[in-house]
Structure formats: structure tokens, C-alpha cells
Homo-oligomer: A and B are copies of this chain.
Amino acid sequence: MRLRLTPRDTSFFDLLAASAQHLVTGSTLLAELLGADRPTRKQLAKQLSETEHLADDATHSIMRRLNQTFVTPFDRDDIYALASALDDCMDYMEEAADLIVLYKVDELPARVSEQVQVLQRASELTAEAMPRLRSMDDLPEYWVEVNRLENQADKVHRKLLAELFDDVSDPVLLMKLKEIVEVLEQAADAFEKVANTVETIALKES
């Protein structure tokens, strides 16, 4: 059990929690975007892009504080890796939304919703877990569940790929859909990276 941290250190936890909170907003916007029509999609992608900017600012705050703080609550490299991985989750979700709009893809395969549902669940779990880094409570549940989700995402992703190549005969549409599906898979991988970094931190503290 860790002792109470000095006030100056606590801000890392707040900043990480704020960063993860943006992921919940981002994945919710992405899920809405899937079901929306083209003009609404454009608007939602813009909102997601603004959320990404806020997340970017949060990441920069963490990095700046990290570089200027002598004593950090955890290993400096682990906080750095955690902030970077959180940032990657957002970047991939924003990229997926952006590609859907840019490529003017009207209909997405049904299974893409399953990919995004995994991202929504993973972002909620991540946002709930970040504040628990302070006390180190109940973290294994979090990383085990995110790893399970990523395995599920991986299976959905492989099924989707096979379906795309079986069902889509237009090679240009195939290229577009494949890229969107790959970027969503990279988002799921990024959430797993966050969970693995939390596991690393927890193992060092135990």
C-alpha cells in the first residue's frame, strides 16, 4: 500500500484521468458517426477532431510536467509511455472518423460497429482505471478485461477482413474500407498498450 503522495505529485493522476476522459467522449462521437448521414458525420468528425486537440493538450501538459518534475509518482518512462499510449488511442479514433468522411464511404459493414463498441467499452474501463492508479486498487480487473476486449477486437477484425475480400468487388471501395478497419484495429491495440503499461506500473509497485 502506497503512502499518500505529496500534492505536487498528484497532478499526474489528474492529468492522466483527464486524458482518458477525452477517450470516452471520442469513442462516443465515433459510435454516433457510424449511424449518421453524411452531413452529420462531417460535423461529428469535426467535434472528434476538437476532442483530439484537447487530448493533445492534456498529453503535452503531462510531458511538460514530466520533464520538469524531479520526483514522479512512478517510473518516469512508464508515465511517458502511458501518456503516449493514451494519445495514440485518440489519434487512431480521430483518424478513423476522418477517413470515413474523407473517403465518402456511405455504408460501412455491420461488423465495424462491433469494432467501435469494443473501443467504447475499452475507453470507459480506461477512464475508470486511471484515477485508481493513485491507490493501486482493483487494477488487475481492468487490464485483464481490456486484454480480453482486444482479443475479441482481433477476432472481429480478422472476420471483417475475410468478409471484405469476399463481398466487396470494387477494389477502390475495398481499399477504403480496409484502411478504416485497420485503423480501428490499431485503436484497439493502443488501448491494450495502455493496459499493459498500467500492468507494468502495478507490478513495479507491488
Contacts and interface: CB of A to CB of B under 8 A. Distances in A.
A102 B200 CA distance: 34
Nearest to A168: B172
Contacts of A98: 158
Interface string A28-68: 00000000000000000000000000000000000110011
A160 to B, nearest CB: 11
Where chain A touches its partner, the secondary structure class is helix
Identical copies in the complex? 3
A144 interface: no
Nearest to A179: B178
Given A63-B200, A171-B172, A171-B175, 5 more contacts: A67-B200, A98-B158, A102-B165, A165-B176, A175-B175
Contacts of A171: 171-172, 175
A204 B68 CA distance: 6
Interface in A164-188: 165, 169, 171-172, 174-176, 178
Contact of A172 (B64, B103, B174): B174
A103 B165 contact: yes
A71 interface: no
A177 B113 CA distance: 28
Top 10 closest pairs, chain A to chain B, by CB: A67-B203, A171-B171, A67-B204, A102-B162, A171-B172, A67-B200, A103-B165, A68-B203, A102-B161, A102-B158
